[in-house]
């Protein structure tokens, strides 16, 4: 089966599952709400205004992880993957279509989230808000980071073959472990996937990475997870 029909089939799966629509909505709502609260708390304090505007991404990326995980985990329930591979015997083509079907809506929602968050944050911060050029860079970085985290989760889910296992690893990691490691390890933690991409959301950053290189590091983590997932898919029984 050609790639485009496979992609269309995967897109139908995603848009018809309420849990996946809910996860995408949660990306927008949690990021905007928690960012607005952080912006209100930071008003007039001279903190990093750009990150104050986008700090809710720490919670939004959890929803993006849940979206990427759930979109893949549904294939491992009830023998669904066997039926899928019976229709699309080329496992690499199917996985590429699945990853694309995850990336495109996440990117669309992520960019929408970034720009809505920017507008809300500027309204809350008023005169202390970041400039438009810096804000647009943050909004685009927000969308890219959320997309990369969803793909990272998708690749890891194929490796672990379990949505529960993936969420049990990633959610505590991004909410707790990453911050603990960051406090103890100096600059090493800046290269973790959930932290590297967020460099693009800071006005100033004292670490090794910049906005572009930080997103590149997260992209490499995501690519590694997808490659591992593709290898696992080819070498394990459905």
Band (188; pLDDT cuts 50, 70, 90): confident
**Which pLDDT score is estimated for 204?**
77
Q: Is the pLDDT of residue 45 over 60?
A: no
Q: Is the pLDDT of residue 48 over 80?
A: yes
Contact 158, 76 (CB under 8 A): no
Contact 211, 140 (CB under 8 A): no
Contact 213, 197 (CB under 8 A): no
Mean pLDDT (the chain) is 89
Q: Which of 66-70, 91-95, 126-130 has the lowest mean pLDDT?
A: 126-130
Q: How far apart are CA 36 and CA 109, in angstroms?
A: 18
Single out the residue of 225, 211, 5, 194 nearest to residue 93, CA to CA.
5
């Amino acid at each position: 089966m050609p790639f485009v029909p496979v992609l269309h089939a995967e897109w139908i799966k995603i848009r018809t599952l309420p849990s996946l629509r809910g996860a995408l909505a949660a990306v927008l709502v949690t990021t905007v709400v928690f960012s607005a609260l952080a912006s209100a708390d930071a008003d007039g304090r001279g903190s990093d205004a750009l990150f104050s505007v986008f700090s809710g991404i720490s919670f939004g990326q959890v929803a993006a992880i849940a979206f990427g995980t759930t979109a893949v985990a549904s294939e491992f329930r009830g023998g669904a993957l066997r039926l899928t591979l019976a229709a699309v015997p080329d496992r690499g083509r199917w996985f590429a279509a699945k990853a694309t079907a995850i990336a495109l809506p996440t990117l669309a929602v992520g960019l929408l989230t970034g720009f809505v968050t920017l507008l809300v944050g500027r309204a809350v911060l008023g005169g202390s808000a970041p400039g438009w050029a810096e804000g647009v860079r943050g909004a685009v970085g927000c969308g890219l980071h959320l997309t990369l985290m969803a793909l990272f989760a998708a690749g890891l889910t194929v490796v672990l073959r379990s949505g529960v296992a993936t969420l049990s690893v990633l959610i505590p990691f991004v909410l707790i472990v990453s911050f603990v490691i960051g406090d103890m390890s100096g600059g090493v933690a800046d290269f973790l996937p959930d932290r590297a991409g967020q460099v693009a959301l800071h006005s100033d950053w004292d670490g090794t990475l910049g906005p572009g290189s930080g997103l590149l590091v997260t992209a490499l983590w995501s690519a590694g997870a997808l490659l591992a997932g593709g290898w696992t898919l080819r070498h394990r029984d459905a």
